[in-house]
Amino acid sequence: MMFPAMVQLLDFWAEWCGPCQIMKPVVEELERELKGKVEVKSVDVDADPNEASKFGIMSIPTFVVLKNGKEVGRKIGVTSKTELMKLVNS
């Protein structure tokens, strides 16, 4: 039996990060649109530094796309919803 690939979008951010705040509504909109297809997980790098270091996050915001637990895409910095959607669909 084949299960559809589990796709996750990890959003690495912090409260004090201006660009992260700019991206917040974009990520929330994407989350609503992809509900049931993509799991969106926000990772506060201050609250969860282990998760950030596991992915080698050097600057934020960073968006990482995982398919079945393997990284298949990454984008750093402020980006458009269209670009994020392309990343998720890659």
Sheet containing 62-67: which strands, arranged edge to edge?
Answer: 38-44, 7-13, 62-67, 70-76
Please state, in angstroms and rounded to a whole number, the distance separating the CA atoms of residues 85 and 90. Answer: 9
Catalytic residue list contains 33? no
Is 83 within the bounds of a domain?
A: yes
pLDDT in tens, 13-66: 999 999 999 999 999 999 999 999 999 999 999 999 999 999 999 999 999 999
- Residues 57-75 have pLDDT tens digits of 999 999 999 999 999 999 9
Is the residue at 62 inside a domain?
yes
Q: Is the model's pLDDT at 1 over the cut of 80?
A: no
| Active-site residue identified among 9, 10, 17, 26 | 17
Burial class (CB in 10 A: 0-12, 13-18, 19+), 11: buried
Q: Indicate whether 44 belongs to any domain.
A: yes
CATH (domain of 11):
3.40.30.10
pLDDT for 6: 86
Count: domains in the chain = 1
Active-site annotation holder among 9, 20, 60, 88? 20
**pLDDT score at 90:** 79
> Residue 12 above 70 pLDDT?
yes
Kindly state whether residue 67 falls inside one of the protein's structural domains: yes
Residue 1 domain-assigned (yes or no): no
Task: Tell me the pTM.
Answer: 0.92
Q: Are 43 and 54 in contact (CB under 8 A)?
A: no
Whether the CB-CB separation of 43 and 14 falls below 8 Å is answered with no
Domain that includes residue 79, residue range: 7-89
Residue 57 lies in a domain: yes
Task: Judge whether 2 lies within some domain.
Answer: no
The verdict on whether 17 is a catalytic residue reads yes
Is position 71 within any domain?
A: yes
